[in-house]
Amino acid sequence: RKEVEQDPGPFNVPEGATVAFNCTYSNSASQSFFWYRQDCRKEPKLLMSVYSSGNEDGRFTAQLNRASQYISLLIRDSKLSDSATYLCVVNPGPSGGSYIPTFGRGTSLIVHP
Amino acid sequence: ETGVTQTPRHLVMGMTNKKSLKCEQHLGHNAMYWYKQSAKKPLELMFVYSLEERVENNSVPSRFSPECPNSSHLFLHLHTLQPEDSALYLCASSQDSSGGDNEQFFGPGTRLTVL
């Protein structure tokens, strides 16, 4: 089983739709979780951290389910500008004193008019 | 100058050339990373430096040689590359690599083409 798995998509949704992505991780000792956004031919940028209690930032809601070992990202009222690849990132816990994040393959979202 | 910068932004090189990629971070971070991103593939971690010491070398071929002279600068020296090494090379930094809440900041990347 891969350490971090995401459905690559693409998810093709109309403007205004609500869309959700999941990301599963294999290491139950994982300590921190993030969603990054990567636009075409650009670098990844942090979208939001994922907290145990769940967190919301405007139209974006992130959830963590430790029992089932997945995180989710919900986007409400999709905009054309939300079209991008969404990368799930998991910090698996210390290895030799270092926390080395593991990236998922990314989920492609296309929002159309 | 803000964030993480990388030069050059684009590089075309032959298999016998030697070139270097440069990364500089202006965030006061202690950890720096090199990643490779090929088309349709996830980010592949190559190297991690923490306080100028290499803490991770992810089975990268020796034709890639990193150098971290100080906590603000990271280089990737390239020699005798193969066409399959063509990819986007991303540099990132984080406050340190010894904490779990490890947000990374990425540079714009160097798009490398090996002929």
CA distance A50 to B103: 11
Residue-wise pLDDT for B58-97, tens only, equals 789 999 999 999 989 999 999 999 999 999 999 999 987 6
β-partners of residue A70 are: A24, A65
- Dihedral of CA atoms A69, A13, A35, A107 in degrees, nearest 10, equals 70
Q: How many residues belong to chain B?
A: 115
Contact A58, A75 (CB under 8 A): no
Q: Confidence class of residue B52 from pLDDT cuts 50, 70 and 90?
A: confident
> Phi and psi at residue A7, in whole multiples of 5°?
-75, 120
CA distance B46 to B64: 9
Please check the confidence at residue A96 and state whether its pLDDT lies above 60: no
**Interface with A, mutate which of B102, B110, B111 (most A CBs under 10 A):** B102
* Tokens standing for residue A66: 């430790």
> For residue B61, is the peptide bond before it cis, meaning its omega torsion is within 30 degrees of 0?
no
Q: Report CB contact under 8 Å: A43, B102.
A: no
> B72 exposed, middle or buried (CB, 10 Å; 0-12, 13-18, 19+)?
middle
Residues 6+ apart with CB under 8 A from B20: B75, B76, B77, B78
Q: How many CA atoms lie within 13 A of A71 on its CB side?
A: 33
Q: Is B4 left (phi over 0), alpha (psi -120 to 50) or beta?
A: beta
Q: Confidence class of residue A73 from pLDDT cuts 50, 70 and 90?
A: very high
Contact of A9 with chain B, judged by CB distance below 8 Å, is answered with no
Contact of B108 with chain A, judged by CB distance below 8 Å, is answered with yes
CA distance A107 to A109: 6
Q: Confidence class of residue A19 from pLDDT cuts 50, 70 and 90?
A: very high
Distance from CA of A77 to the nearest CA of B (A): 27
Q: Report CB contact under 8 Å: B42, A105.
A: yes
β-partners of residue A95 are: A98
